[in-house]
Amino acid sequence: MDRPIITVVGSFAVGLTLRSSRFPVRGETLLGSDFQQGPGGKGSNQAVQAARLGADVEFVAMVGRDQFADVAHDLYRQEGVGTRYLTATDECNTGVGFILLDTQGDNRIVLDPGANRLLTPALVDRAAERIGQSQVVLTQLEIPLETAIHTLRLAREAGALGILNPAPARPVPLNQLGLCDVITPNETELRILLGRTPDDPADSLDLCRELLAAGVRTVVLTRGAQGALVVSGDDVVSVPTFAVEAVDTTGAGDSFSATLAVSLAAGLGLADAVRRATAAGALTCTKLGVVPALPHAGAVDALLTQHKGNGGECHAFH
């Protein structure tokens, strides 16, 4: 069987992670533990996850010329992620993120995008031939918005499925969102995308339908412990989550989006692809760190098999 062909356009950053008993308040210093330094960035995480699931992956990204860029090259060599379109710049540093975790596994993140700010549409154009060979093209919003939108436009013109994971969230003009074949927001990101406050009380399903009216073909709304909602045309399908002991939720969304991309590229139906993505996202929550937690195909399949015929079916409603 041929490997699914995925192109990821996105960000790389080195994550510096620290755990504390709780998050500090203004002006407070807390003692922490479990310091880790490792590769991250939403695009990078998604590229690695796709490769671990057996896909043929090329990563279009920008790094600096510093020791953090070496981390990227070492990672992609080890994981089998293609780097033909990984560009280095002397203009600024490689991206870096600071991640604080509490004992419940919740996180707070501050990111300096660094070289990710310099990933331009012209650099994505260099990968046009590869995009044309891809079944799925996946991008996020840790790169300039114009670059992410340009990526989706190239995917559509090439006949590839274009997926936007709209994180970190920002308002995006509806006419640009219409280039998405699939969009994967959580409930906060959904509201911010549409120019609303993060806690806007509007019904999430109504907001998903605003995206459909703008031209988005499918909305896959992730809802944490409530699983995911798949909204496409008049169809709405609820996909349940998997009960796991959460240690660190960082990276679960990246695992979800990448697994969805690979599953769709491999020919799974939408509901089955979302269920597999939900399993991968749940597994990612069970380990500390992001890259160490991204599951391989065998672990995802084992979780799905474990729950097969034991509840957790998808439910359709209107």
CB-CB contact of 218 with 230 (8 Å)? yes
Within its chain, how far is the Cα of 205 from the centroid? 21
Q: Which residues contact 305 (CB under 8 A, 6 or more apart)?
A: none
CB-CB contact of 301 with 283 (8 Å)? no
First to last CA, the chain: 36
Q: Give the C-alpha separation, 292 to 287, whole Å.
A: 7
Where do runs of H (alpha helix) occur along the chain?
A: 42-52, 67-79, 121-125, 128-133, 145-158, 174-177, 187-193, 204-213, 252-265, 270-284, 297-307
Q: Please indicate whether residue 254 is annotated as part of the active site.
A: yes
Q: Which amino acid is at 136?
A: V
Q: Dihedrals φ, ψ of 118, to 5°?
A: -100, 5
CB-CB contact of 291 with 75 (8 Å)? yes
Cis amide prior to 168 (ω within 30 degrees): yes
Q: Considering 74, 254, 272, 301, which one is annotated as catalytic?
A: 254
Q: Dihedrals φ, ψ of 95, to 5°?
A: -60, 150
Burial pattern 131-145, b for ≥16 Cβ within 10 A else e, equals beebbbbbbbbbbbe
Q: Give the active site residues.
A: 254
